[in-house]
Amino acid sequence: MSYPLENALFNWEAGIERLRELERAGVTQGDRVTVPVRDELRRRLGATFSAGELAELYGSGTDWVRQLAGIDPGMADLQDLVDAAFWQHLQSASDFAGGRRIEVES
């Protein structure tokens, strides 16, 4: 059973909003999480992927993030920053543009 994109979007949008709040407050730790997570997402999904594939990877769990170099597993806001990284990566999905999914005709 696939992980619903709508569920993932809810979490990712909350994550990107939290990242923006942190940035407005002058906290600059976001890139220390989002950059390595996005690098790993590129490695796992390749250059071409769909929003559904990204949601499926998310739904299978994000515990692997805690093992990435430079990530502090006890960091406050870690899951929010991981969700923000997924939102950022979603912008490169082959079927996603401008904050909405593109319906592909067959």
For residue 4, the 8-state DSSP code is P
Q: Which tens digit of pLDDT belongs to each residue from 39-50? A: 999 999 999 999
What are the domain boundaries of the chain? 5-101
How confident is the prediction for the chain on average, in pLDDT?
Answer: 91
pTM of this structure: 0.89
Q: What is the pLDDT of residue 97?
A: 72
CA torsion, ordered 79, 101, 35, 42, to nearest 10 deg: 110
**Cβ neighbours of residue 8 under 8 Å, at least 6 residues apart?**
54, 55, 58, 59, 86
pLDDT at residue 27 in the model? 86
Burial 61-100 (b: 16+ CB within 10 A, else e): ebeebeeeeebeeeeebbbbbbbbbbbbbbeebeebeeee
Token duo for residue 94:
């082959």
Please tell me the predicted confidence (pLDDT) of residue 102: 56
pLDDT in tens, 8-39: 999 999 999 999 999 999 988 899 999 999 99
